[in-house]
Amino acid sequence: MSDLQTPAGAPGAASDDAPSTATAAANASSAGAGGRSFLPKSTLLRHLLVLALCAVLAVLLLEGTERSTNDQISRIAFYAIAAGGLTLLTGLNGQISLGHGALMAVGAYTTALMLDVDGDPLPLAVIFLVAVAVTAVVGAIVGVAAARLHGPYLAGATLALAVGVPGLTLYFSDTLGGEQGINVRAPRAPDWFVEGIEALSGERGQGTKWLAYIAVACLLISYFLLANLMRSRIGRTWRAVRDQEVAAELAGISLGSWRVLAFVVSAAAAGLAGGVLAIVVRLTAPGSFLPVLSLSLLTAIVIGGLGSLFGALLGSVLLVLLPEWARDFGLEVLDMESAQASQAAFVIYGLLLVATMLFAPAGLVGTVRLALLRRRAARAMSRAGGG
């Protein structure tokens, strides 16, 4: 047995393990990590403070940029909402889903159908809540099936969802509009908003701007709620299920129901994202929800850093902006035709993904966190060794 034992405090066994085991974990930082004494101790106050700060930043951003950027921000917002839900599912709970695009479709079609009525539609908040609820129910059904599957089988099953749901819209083309989809009547900005924006920046707060505000508000609220969950016992339990099934079960955690719960929460976020997509794009058509959407979401959370909301946001920003940057780069610097430049965007996107996987497998946020972790471990080791 002597080869097994390592005296406590000896530097031998402890050097490089931390980074290798903590790859996925590094992103989901722990509550007790310390060093946050300047923030309030209460989770609610802390998260509300961050929420308020982000809201101010968002207003500055929306008012400081032009219409087209506002539109980009709206698109980033709905991608980020869905990616936030997905990173909870994949990063915290270890379940992969290639079908979140389909769940977004559920939310989008629910929203589109509820807005497409004669007379005044219900308030948008109510419509979004219904979209979230409907998608959550679909998520629960998928989740029950998913809880029994692992790895490639789960990926396959959810991919089937992504492939199947757009087809469903063609089958029920009478209500769902078939290939053309449903044109969405975007809600009009209320007077107080128009006046408020006019007073704030002198611009007209209608159309795109109103939608951008709705999208960003949805993003902030959903991230606030997701962050609450991730920092709580619920998030910890999800991580336990991800890390060590047997130990989690022995602690009294029923693996299946916690997996389903993660799927439901994640689906709810996707439903909201779909609702926002519907009003921002003003069209709900099967072409918007091809399997590539699900893959893009997965790409976003991997590049950003699994399990991190900030990473999901960062990944979504890249998802929206990178193709456009790449196209501009192709058009202006490389002097390409516009069709060529659009194709080049895909190439650059792919290359970036490969590079991320090679050089920063924990994603952008994860890599930074890992570096911090490593430094902390090294400090702890030197303390133990020296003192």
Q: How far is residue 343's CA from residue 355's CA, in Å, rounded to a whole number?
A: 19
Residue 199 binds other proteins (CB under 8 A): no
* Residue selected from 64, 167, 233, 359 as contacting other proteins according to rule CB under 8 A: 233
Q: Give the nearest distance from C-beta 240 to other proteins in angstroms.
A: 5
* Residue selected from 73, 261, 281, 326 as contacting other proteins according to rule CB under 8 A: 261
DSSP assignment of 316-354 equals: HHHHHHHHHHHHHIIIIIS---HHHHHHHHHHHHHHHHH
Site for other proteins in 240-259 (CB under 8 A): 240, 242-244, 246-255
Which region among 62-70, 124-132, 187-195, 228-236 touches other proteins (by CB under 8 A)? 228-236
Nearer to other proteins, 92 or 108 (CB): 92
| Sequence-ordered list of residues with C-beta below 8 angstroms from that of 49, at least 6 positions apart, any chain | 39, 40
Strands 182-183 and 283-284: antiparallel
- DSSP state for residue 28 in the 8-state scheme: S
Nearer to other proteins, 224 or 329 (CB): 224
Residue 324 binds other proteins (CB under 8 A): no
Residue 334 binds other proteins (CB under 8 A): no
Q: Structure tokens of 263?
A: 């799927």
Q: Structure tokens of 350?
A: 């792919």
Q: Give the nearest distance from C-beta 245 to other proteins in angstroms.
A: 10
Residue 339 binds other proteins (CB under 8 A): no
Q: Give the nearest distance from C-beta 147 to other proteins in angstroms.
A: 13
Side-chain-side CA neighbours of 368 within 13 Å: the count stands at 10
Residue 9 binds other proteins (CB under 8 A): yes
Q: Where are the alpha helices (DSSP H) in 28-150?
A: 43-64, 67-87, 100-115, 124-146
Residue 387 binds other proteins (CB under 8 A): no
Q: How far is residue 91's CA from residue 24's CA, in Å, rounded to a whole number?
A: 7
Residue 152 binds other proteins (CB under 8 A): no
Q: Structure tokens of 202?
A: 């002198």
Residue 386 binds other proteins (CB under 8 A): no
Q: Structure tokens of 39?
A: 């923030």
Determine the size of the site formed for other proteins (CB under 8 A).
Answer: 59
Residue with tokens 């509009």: 177
Q: Give the nearest distance from C-beta 15 to other proteins in angstroms.
A: 8
* Residue selected from 59, 133, 140, 236 as contacting other proteins according to rule CB under 8 A: 236
Residue 125 binds other proteins (CB under 8 A): no
Side-chain-side CA neighbours of 211 within 13 Å: the count stands at 26
Nearer to other proteins, 119 or 252 (CB): 252
Site for other proteins in 22-61 (CB under 8 A): 22, 24-26, 28, 30-34, 41-44, 47
Q: How far is residue 169's CA from residue 176's CA, in Å, rounded to a whole number?
A: 6
| Sequence-ordered list of residues with C-beta below 8 angstroms from that of 17, at least 6 positions apart, any chain | none
Nearer to other proteins, 47 or 75 (CB): 47
Sign of CA dihedral 59, 64, 67, 72: negative
Instruction: Tell which residue, 283, 316, 296, 292, has the closest CA to residue 111.
Output: 283
Nearer to other proteins, 251 or 347 (CB): 251
Q: Return residues touching other proteins (CB under 8 A).
A: 1, 4-10, 12-14, 17-18, 20-22, 24-26, 28, 30-34, 41-44, 47, 225, 228-229, 231-237, 239-240, 242-244, 246-255, 261, 373, 377, 380
